[in-house]
Structure 1
Amino acid sequence: MAGPVRTETSEARQVAVLPWRRGDAGVEVMMITSRETRRWVIPKGGRMVGKTDPQAAAQEAYEEAGVQGETLDTVIGHFRYGKRLKTGAVQACVVAVYPLEVLIQLGAWPEDQQRQRRWMSQAEAAEAVHEADLAQLIREFRPL
């Protein structure tokens, strides 16, 4: 019989981008699948030594979604989730989200064999994610 899932007590800080563009029907958001669960998520990862948080978030967008563009230095919100570690423990994470206007969408990128990506309306993207605070952030996002 398996024991209870252990939860790490301190929150890990991560960074993410909300990749967006203006489509015919308004603002569209690029969503990607996670590698393990195949759930729809936004590109995110750990903070990086030698990079500002917006630069680290833009690096994740390139690696995970194959997009590049203009990232603003202003956080548009935060969301929390539980990251399952290889040990089986769950690490609580708080993620700062930066908007990234997509200017370049690459045909090949570092994780293209590991993930799917898809443009969605804000409403569709908000429905696709599992985190309520991320869904609200996506719904309420308004580009400058």
Structure 2
Amino acid sequence: MSGINKESQSRVGRENQAYASNGSRLVAGGVILSADHERVLMISSTDKRRWIIPKGGVELDEVEDYSKAAIRETWEEAGVDGRVAKYLGKINDHRMIKTSGCEGNSKSFPPLASSVEYADPNNFITKDGTKLVPRSEYHFYEMALVKIYTEWPEKHKRDRHWFDYATAKRELEKNDGSELLEALEKSSIVKD
């Protein structure tokens, strides 16, 4: 068992949201695979227009172990008790924000601003000296399904469905889910 406290409601709001030292929002998620590794469990976005991988903000009480946030998010959004099989790594958001020393005052920018002159894996500096950082820092975990529930906190907001690799990849590409696609690619799902 994952040992998660299965609350009947999702945690909401950003008052307990954790941020990386550079101002990026910390996000954790779970790539939930079937026992034969041939399918991945995906959920609908809250507007039900896209299929995504369960993920959400790391909270202050989860900063010592991001897998706790991934387990909580898969419960809240997908109604799944999952066991972490392996860490899939850190993936930076392709969208950038302007940092002003306080994440609450950040402004979104396009992924590759034309005025960027210097880049490293963690930030960009514009010609006017403005620092751009990834909007979010994702930490994904491959998970083995322990139990799937019929009742869960976001049941009335989301649908869930098993997809084979090719279909999941197509859904994520269609919806510009490059960070989610990278997590799927790093998982041990059977790739046709």
- TM-score, length of structure 2 as denominator length: 0.58
- SS of residue in 1 equivalent to 2:35: strand
8 Å contact 1:76–1:99 — kept in the other structure? no
- Could you say which residue in structure 2 is the equivalent of 1:48? 59
Name which one, 1 or 2, has greater alpha-carbon Rg.
Answer: 2
Structure 1 runs not aligned, ≥5 long:
1-8, 83-88
Identity percentage of aligned residues: 24
1:29-48 equivalent positions in 2, closer than 5 A: 29-36=40-47, 38-48=49-59
Q: What CA deviation, in whole Å up to 9, does each residue of 1:73-125 have, x standing for no partner?
A: 6234525265xxxxxx6482221111111110101100000001000012211
* Runs of 4+ in structure 1 over 6 Å off: none
Cα 1:76–1:126, aligned 2, differ >3 Å: closer, same or farther? farther
- Could you say which residue in structure 2 is the equivalent of 1:111? 154
Q: Tell me, yes or no, if structure 1 residue 96 matches structure 2 residue 107.
A: no
Q: In structure 1, what is the Cα distance between the partners aligned to 2:86 and 2:59?
A: 15
Structure 2 runs not aligned, ≥5 long:
1-21, 96-106, 109-133
Q: In structure 1, what is the Cα distance between the partners aligned to 2:178 and 2:153?
A: 29
1:1-144 equivalent positions in 2, closer than 5 A: 10-23=23-36, 26-36=37-47, 38-51=49-62, 52-72=65-85, 74-78=87-91, 80=93, 90=108, 92-129=135-172, 130-142=176-188
Question: What is the root-mean-square deviation of aligned Cα atoms in Å?
Answer: 2.6
Cα 1:133–1:44, aligned 2, differ >3 Å: closer, same or farther? closer
- TM-score, length of structure 1 as denominator length: 0.75
